[in-house]
Amino acid sequence: MNMRDIARRAGVSSATVSRVINGSPLVREKTAARVRKILEDVKFIPNPSATTLKYGRSKTYGLVIPDITNPFYAEFLGIFEELMTEIDHEVLVTVSESPEKLEKNVRRMLMRQVDGVVFMGSEFDTEKVDALFRHRIPLVTVDRRVAEEGCSDVAVDFNAGYLEAVRHLCLLGHQRLGFIGGIEGLKTSADRLKAFRKAVEAADLVYREELVTGGDYRIAGGEQALFTLMKSRIKPTAILTANDMTAFGAVRGLHRLGLSVPGDVSVIGLDDVLMAEVLQPALTTIRIPRRRLADECLKALNYTKEDVDRKGRCFTVKPELKVRESTGPVGVAKRSKRV
């Protein structure tokens, strides 16, 4: 069933059917109504590959995420997909844990003629991604904080986030703040660490190297890092982390060590994954508003699309502290909390 079939039934040409479907004003209302009636009767479904073939536009955006297993990305994907569906676009989801996969996925996206690509978290390996630039695909990176020709960026304001978190801890009397960062060598890890340091110094606390260590954005790494941290001479009374998974690992590690949260040590995450509310204790965390992030990605995409030869723009999303149960006043270890 295609436009020609519809056209035949309506006694018009396929051009007219196309015009009706696309809401062109160049069709007499009476004709349009007749065509629309038939369109509905037969439940016509247009075939976008014809359009894609003709114009090279596919109405699909690529989304690159590093790890679908991390609920933050899964939740973001859900919202992004919803947003794109609203504006009548598809999403080509692409999980790129490794550079090899990234390279393959870039090819997949090029084949499918994506109209733009959003890169999340995965390090932006310019060499692997070069083909997208060459094909002049509008690009958006998240948290890279760099705009270039044909590529905009949407960044979470980690500075604001960690600042709010540190303030919260200060009010609770904490002075020795630990930090479990992300994978070393990733730019976003360095950014998060810098933001933490800035926040510590802004609160007139001393920043101590030995209270800082790296994780892997996953639970296992967070737990390992926690053990490292708690072996040091000076122990933190509160720990900030690079993301919620890391925080979950830290909490688990503390429990394993027989320490209570927040009685012995307070913990703050980043992301505000659904699970954060659920863990025992519910995790205090710096929430990244996913819907706003998705909205900004779309804006950034559109901005880049307007003119691919122009330098992109940097967009920012402000996070917000969600205070829950994993933070409390310093030095109030309630032993045997569970009756």
Name the site residues for a second copy (rule: CB under 8 A): 43, 45-50, 52-53, 58, 68-69, 71, 74-75, 77-78, 81-82, 85, 90-93, 95, 104, 107-108, 110-113, 131, 219, 248-249, 251-252, 255, 258, 260, 274-275, 278-280, 335-339
Cα(224)–Cα(111) distance, integer angstroms? 41
Q: What is the β-pairing status of strands 60-65 and 116-119? A: parallel
Cα(74)–Cα(139) distance, integer angstroms? 21
Which of a second copy, DNA, none lies near 95, with the C-beta cut-off 5 to 8 A by kind?
a second copy
Comparing CB distances to DNA, the nearer of 17 and 254 is: 17
H/E run at residue 72: helix 71-86
Cα(304)–Cα(300) distance, integer angstroms? 6
HEC profile of 300-315: HHHHHHHCCCCECCEE
Comparing CB distances to a second copy, the nearer of 152 and 326 is: 326
Comparing CB distances to DNA, the nearer of 42 and 146 is: 42
CB of 23 to a second copy, least distance (A): 17
CB of 81 to a second copy, least distance (A): 6
Number of H helices, E strands in the chain: 12, 12
CB of 15 to a second copy, least distance (A): 18
CB of 104 to DNA, least distance (A): 18
Record the tokens describing residue 260, joined without a space.
Answer: 């209570």
Quick check: 332 binds DNA (CB under 7 A)? Answer: no
CB of 13 to DNA, least distance (A): 3
Angle CA 136–138–141, to nearest 5: 125
Comparing CB distances to DNA, the nearer of 22 and 336 is: 22
Q: Which long-range contacts (CB under 8 A, 24 or more apart) does 128-133 make?
A: 128/99, 128/102, 128/103, 129/102, 131/106, 131/107, 132/106
Cα(301)–Cα(143) distance, integer angstroms? 15
For DNA, the binding residues in 1-60 under the rule CB under 7 A are 2-4, 7, 11-19, 21-22, 25-32, 46-47, 50-51, 53-56
Which of DNA, a second copy, none lies near 28, with the C-beta cut-off 5 to 8 A by kind?
DNA
Which of DNA, a second copy, none lies near 31, with the C-beta cut-off 5 to 8 A by kind?
DNA
Q: Which of 250, 266, 163, 261 is nearest to 214 (CA)?
A: 250
Q: What is the size of the binding site for DNA (CB under 7 A)?
A: 31
Comparing CB distances to a second copy, the nearer of 71 and 289 is: 71
Q: Are 12 and 5 in contact (CB under 8 A)?
A: no
Q: Which long-range contacts (CB under 8 A, 24 or more apart) does 292-296 make?
A: 292/317, 293/76, 293/142, 293/154, 293/156, 293/317, 294/76, 294/79, 294/80, 294/83, 295/83, 296/154
CB of 7 to DNA, least distance (A): 7
CB of 3 to DNA, least distance (A): 3
CB of 68 to a second copy, least distance (A): 4
Which of DNA, a second copy, none lies near 16, with the C-beta cut-off 5 to 8 A by kind?
DNA
Binding site for DNA (CB under 7 A): 2-4, 7, 11-19, 21-22, 25-32, 46-47, 50-51, 53-56
